Structure 1
């Protein structure tokens, strides 16, 4: 690798600070130079605040401004990390791509498919290298599952996640000053997050795709929150049941809940192929299957069927994502990325399509139709004057 890749970060909230921390470690290795930071709320750019989340942070030589356009002009980055709430994009990704800046865009890339398509088109037209913030693909355990399933026919994948609404953390965007949630927990708000399936469930959906391939259709039904149970704008549904059909023939389900006053989380992930199952047990991915003369003389025990999948040692997945992206920029090739921006559009369509399906009474929505069918046009565009 030649000179360090010049990187700027837009959005110094929870996720942006995590990205900056990873980039700072790559800076210490000499592969990255942090040249600019942008945040619409200048208090988030205070060195003392950043240093609370990024040890050894030093502001010298780093351009900072409320406007990412000013930072791109003054700092001339090679690459930009965009980590802002998904509903507040205002053309920054398109502008960066048109300026020849490579992009890492935090998920979900937008709450509006038309806007995301505009981003995708600008990236493609510019030739920019771009990825989305699906760091879980860089987990050695998840990679081990993908490798194990590579020569198998997956027929089903199921994810269950029960969560407490109170688990949502206070964010750094002052939504209380933007007619949003007074407690700044925008991830609990339907308007700001697009629903828990979109803001959080997109990670599980993207892992399904990592293991099983692209999604063809979605059907969904939600149990919406009672008006009397909404506090501080936290109106995301109680529960979600989402069914997916994969292009390769597998079926899948994502079941989520976000309850108030429960204070309990649990979950389950399971992948089924034609002759066995993969489960997650603690830190291990475990495959259950029989190998031996068939039929066996007696029923095998669970221990005889249990195979822990070997996973290589690896770094923090967020750092793994940053490293892969920076190397892609440095080499001019996206071959080492585990998802490109264009490829990530299937994950975004799958969760936004779930919202549409629920709105339409649970009807099956084919993702290929979402970006072009007239009947979905009202769901694709940003509402209000901003859509003009």
Structure 2
């Protein structure tokens, strides 16, 4: 393919983990001319074979064997949180670029080892916080950086759904809970838009699913954030809301404007310092943030630049969500380093 006036090779891509999210990535990557799907690995070999049969390439039951045998350029790590181990470290040591699904780990020790390995090797990395590529989020980022919003004072977010799955997700030791595994998308967006958090306090409980004895995760949570900028944040999450509806919403109140997002590809801007008050509606229909996140990694490799969500950013969002869980467990505010 000719890109930016020069000939580039197709990037050879392999997968570690071939479940549902891997299928979503593979479907999109198959449409990208710079990408070539060459290998799939999963402990359940039949899943690797299914993707191999659909997209080509070889199937493996052992990802280490795949890395030994395949000259990969990129590896997509699509594992459940509890299954993360040394995949990132070994891939980085081999010079293989990395796309890893969130959360990148369930403890900061492993997350920090991942960050060190990636930064030492110089490979590109992208974490699956693809909503940073949503149109409404991008628009908000631009307005914040240009100073249109002014000093931010209050940030409010909600992640409400009716969602339950009877597998590893119910076990906090394996998933981290709703806040760490699912609502983490919302925390990442608020971090990206409003800056890092210095202190967090939280309450969480299991109220709606008390009959599920095997369930150890929360089904409701409320979190108070104190951003380093001085802004205050309030975030609520639940998996006990209305069936068939998925509320992923946030608002940012600044001195000069308020931003309101009711779905990631749209944004409403209230220019509160204007007289008369002006309200702007922004919406982009059909944008695919996951595809854009994949393209960002591929172009970062080709152009030798940074990605939008390098693994260091994934570690920072993990640190925030783990701190919120720890605050809820201890009943005390937690200060982040």
Deviation at 1:332, TM superposition (A): 2.4
Output aligned runs, 1:296-311, within 5 Å: 304-309=277-282
Is the counterpart of residue 243 in structure 1 residue 241 in structure 2? no
* Partner-residue secondary structure (3-state), 1:46: helix
Mapped to 1, the partners of 2:285 and 2:139 lie a distance apart of 11
The number of aligned residues is 326
Counterpart-to-counterpart distance in 2, 1:7 and 1:223:
41
Q: 1:228 to 1:270 in 2, by over 3 A?
A: closer
Q: 1:263 to 1:189 in 2, by over 3 A?
A: farther
When the two structures are superposed, what TM-score results if normalisation uses the length of structure 1? 0.78
Residue by residue over 1:160-213, the C-alpha shift from the partner in whole angstroms, topping out at 9 and shown as x without a partner, is: 2222133x4xxxxxxxxxxxxxx43x3333222101000011100000012111
What stretches of structure 2 of length at least 5 have no aligned partner?
none
221-230 vs 114-123, which moves further: 221-230
Which one of 87, 96, 99 corresponds to residue 92 of structure 1? Answer: 87
1:203 paired with 2:206, answer no
TM, length-normalised to structure 2: 0.89
Secondary structure in 1 aligned to 2:31? Answer: helix
What is the root-mean-square deviation of aligned Cα atoms in Å?
2.2
Alpha-carbon distance in structure 1 between the residues aligned to 2:52 and 2:212: 32
CA contact (8 A) 1:195 1:236 kept: yes
Match for 2:325 among 355, 374, 377?
355
Separation of aligned partners in 1, 2:274 and 2:100: 47
Which residue number in structure 1 is paired with residue 12 of structure 2? Answer: 6
Preserved contact between residue 239 and residue 258 of structure 1 (Cα < 8 Å): yes
Contact 1:157 1:271 in 2 (8 A): yes
Runs of 4+ in 1 over 6 A off after TM superposition: none
Alpha-carbon distance in structure 2 between the residues aligned to 1:228 and 1:205: 26
Equivalent residues of 1:155, 1:251 under 8 A apart: yes
1:58 correspondence with 2:55: yes
1:124-167 superposed Cα distances (whole Å, 9 cap, x missing partner):
1111111211100111221011112221322221112222133x
User: Does 2:336 align with 1:367?
Assistant: yes
Aligned to 2:295: 323
